Amino acid sequence: MSTRYNFNVFRSWATDIIRVFVMPATLAKPQAWRLAWLVGLLWSGGIMSRADTHYVSLDGDNTSPYTNGWASAATQIQWAMDQAIADDTVLVSNGTYTLTNQIEITNNLTVQSLNGTNFTFVNGNYPDYSNRCVFMLAGTLDGFTISNGYLAVDTTNYPNSHIYGAVGGAGIGTRGTVTIKNCYIHNNVISNATAGGGGGGIHNKYSYAVVSNCTIVDNTCGVGLATDIRGGGICGGAYSLLIIDSYIYGNTGNYGGGFYMANAGLITNCIIAGNYAKYNDGGGRLEALPGVGMANCVVSNNTSGGNGGIHISLGAIAVNSIIIGNAGGPAVNVNAGGMMSNCQVIANTGGGVVLYGSAGGASVVANCIIANNFRNASSYAAGIYLENGGLLKNCLIYCNTNLQSYGGVRLYSDTLYTNFPYGLINCTIVDNKSSSGSGIYVSGITNYFANCIVVSNVTSAGAQDNIQNVTAANTNNYWHTCTPDILPPNQGNITSDPLFVNRPDYNYRLSAGSPCINAGTNSAWIINSVDLDRRTRIRYGTVDMGAYEFIRSGTIFGFH
């Protein structure tokens, strides 16, 4: 005999939530106590689950579970979190919450300040206590000033450091899927760390973390230690880190003064300024597969003992960014398959770019402006130095000055690379200055040049100094190049004036009648590519020389 079921609908008027209960008919009839029991469960929350708000206030009376408003609030953030379950909110009122141990967010909670960073402070309480401020396994942290955390990493005293993230993050350490937003992370210090650890302000390890609309300022990581400690402001290791709309400045570390990001992640729409690295990468470091990137950022006024601005390597990519005013060494280091595209590298005082290739594939700088950089040392160039397989294409290199040798471009190769293109393609090198090698200085086994314009580069005494080839055979490696220097004419090279639109005003586009129009050589990569203005190349059958494609008056075109 089949069982007949009745459907009973109950509604909790307190929460306006409807639930349908299915009961056998034999149980659904006149037993009023059963109905009363179900209704009681609905009203009490015994059956349905809803998110609660747990209150924290320095003026609360600590009545657990801290859900009955501000009067019953917990006076410590951790106490309220200990009573919360997944999807609950811990709402924190104004005041300074001084710690004796780190706050641990282990559930998917939202821990939120009532009135933001100007009113709500989490203080790590150093030197009275030595601990990070916040550790997150899950959840969201929203609207706090996090400061005065101090982390001395000691794997003897922290045997579970691989679980609890003791390798870094004096302000905030993360393991899991977390969000940190609208926070001011300030003056946190790591005094010691294992190699590869770091993140004075934030450390992300084995975590999927989003850091949004945060200010990460004046944090310090591992200064004075000889080990590879990374990311004075923020360090991202395994899994993924996304940094959005944030300001990273005034941080100090050994490698990556502002940030260090590896494995997977993106830093976008950020300002990275005024950071310092003792050894290398004052602004920050991007490296490691499967993919790390920087987009739409400003990297400015950072310093270090090595690269002043950023380091891009091992497949990392930087696009649509401005690298300006950095010091202490070249502003950008691109190597081991790294790529920089559609960026401006300008007014840096340790030089512009160093670009290193590798046997596995080219490191590439494309569609960039490298200008007004200064250097007072040989070895690298004031503009860009390429070594062993670097590729520079569609770039404008102008007005770079070296008080010693190498103004615009220096190339060196001790290996013949045949498995990928390298050298310079469709570049304009103009108005650079140095004591020697002002335009292009070439040494080593071989290099490749095509579709370039190299003119008006001068020595400190004012003499024309466009191309120097230390190895005579390199003279034969120029194809379809415009320069006053004598190059093999049967390779499409010309010595004519390129007829720029307005050189005194630094407009190096081609004017009508320029001999560089349709004077380049087409190759596979140029098809469907764009010039430095992001206009389609090969408009009239053959690519032009230089970084810009000529557009006839009245032409209607689209940007890519």
Per DSSP, the residues of 48-102 read: S----EEEE-TT----TT--S-GGG-BSSHHHHHHH--TT-EEEE-SEEEE-SS-
Of 209, 335, 322, 340, the C-alpha closest to 280 is 335
Q: Give bridge partners of residue 358 from the DSSP assignment.
A: 361
Picking from 152-161, 255-264, 318-327, which range would have the lowest pLDDT averaged per residue? 152-161
Query: Element (H or E) spanning 26, and its range?
Result: helix 25-28
Q: Residue 383 and residue 400: Cα distance in Å, rounded? A: 5
CB under 8 Å to 196, separation ≥6 — which residues? 167, 228, 230, 237
Q: Residue 122 and residue 95: Cα distance in Å, rounded? A: 9
On the question of a cis peptide bond just before residue 127, with omega within 30 degrees of 0, the verdict is yes
- Contact assessment for residue 346 and residue 322, using Cβ atoms and an 8 Å cutoff: yes
131 to 51, 128, 219, 225, 257: CA distances (angstroms): 31, 10, 15, 20, 22
pLDDT score, position 227: 62
Would you place residue 54 in the very low, low, confident or very high pLDDT band (cuts 50, 70, 90)? very high
pLDDT score, position 91: 98
On the question of a cis peptide bond just before residue 65, with omega within 30 degrees of 0, the verdict is yes
User: In this structure, what DSSP letter does residue 377 have?
Assistant: -
553 compared with 305, residue with greater pLDDT? 305
pLDDT exceeding 90 applies to what percent of the chain?
66
110 to 7, 136, 181, 203: CA distances (angstroms): 36, 11, 11, 20
Query: Element (H or E) spanning 442, and its range?
Result: strand 440-444
pLDDT score, position 166: 47
Of 89, 146, 135, the C-alpha closest to 112 is 89
Is the predicted pLDDT of residue 55 greater than 60, yes or no? yes
Q: Which residues of 203-214 are buried (b: 16+ CB within 10 A; e: fewer)?
A: bbbebbbbbbeb
Q: Tokens 């590298």 — which residue? A: 345
Picking from 43-52, 68-77, 466-475, which range would have the lowest pLDDT averaged per residue? 43-52
Q: Which residues of 467-482 are buried (b: 16+ CB within 10 A; e: fewer)?
A: bbbeeeebeebbbbbb
Summarize the confidence of residues 314-334 as an average pLDDT.
Answer: 96
Tell me the backbone φ, ψ of residue 155, rounded to 5 degrees.
Answer: -70, -15
Of 79, 55, 52, the C-alpha closest to 66 is 55
Of 82, 80, 57, the C-alpha closest to 70 is 57
Q: How many CA atoms lie within 13 A of 435 on its CB side?
A: 8
Of 39, 36, 40, 68, the C-alpha closest to 55 is 68
Q: Is the dihedral of CA 17, 139, 56, 233 positive or negative?
A: negative
Amino acid at position 547, single letter: A
Query: Element (H or E) spanning 35, and its range?
Result: helix 32-44
pTM confidence score: 0.87
Q: Tokens 């003119």 — which residue? A: 455
pLDDT score, position 291: 78
- Contact assessment for residue 197 and residue 183, using Cβ atoms and an 8 Å cutoff: no
Of 523, 530, 560, the C-alpha closest to 548 is 530
Is the predicted pLDDT of residue 56 greater than 60, yes or no? yes
CB under 8 Å to 144, separation ≥6 — which residues? 92, 113, 117, 120, 121, 122, 183, 184
Is the predicted pLDDT of residue 19 greater than 90, yes or no? no
- Please count the helices (runs of H) and the strands (runs of E) in the chain: 4, 53
pLDDT score, position 26: 38
Q: Which two tokens stand for residue 312?
A: 């891009």
Would you place residue 305 in the very low, low, confident or very high pLDDT band (cuts 50, 70, 90)? confident
On the question of a cis peptide bond just before residue 159, with omega within 30 degrees of 0, the verdict is no
Q: Is the dihedral of CA 210, 216, 219, 225 positive or negative?
A: positive
Q: Give the helix ranges, DSSP H, for 160-219.
A: 161-164
Amino acid at position 92, single letter: V
Tell me the backbone φ, ψ of residue 490, rounded to 5 degrees.
Answer: -75, 5
Q: Which two tokens stand for residue 197?
A: 């650890």
Would you place residue 131 in the very low, low, confident or very high pLDDT band (cuts 50, 70, 90)? confident
Amino acid at position 446, single letter: T
pLDDT exceeding 70 applies to what percent of the chain?
83
Would you place residue 225 in the very low, low, confident or very high pLDDT band (cuts 50, 70, 90)? low
Tell me the backbone φ, ψ of residue 144, rounded to 5 degrees.
Answer: -120, 150
What's the chain's Rg over C-alpha atoms?
31
Tell me the backbone φ, ψ of residue 504, rounded to 5 degrees.
Answer: -60, -30
User: In this structure, what DSSP letter does residue 36 have?
Assistant: H
Q: Give bridge partners of residue 261 from the DSSP assignment.
A: 236, 286
State the Cα angle at 96 between 127 and 73, rounded to 5°: 130
Picking from 12-16, 221-225, 339-343, 399-403, which range would have the lowest pLDDT averaged per residue? 12-16
Would you place residue 25 in the very low, low, confident or very high pLDDT band (cuts 50, 70, 90)? very low
pLDDT score, position 195: 55
Is the predicted pLDDT of residue 287 greater than 70, yes or no? yes
- Count, residues in the chain: 560
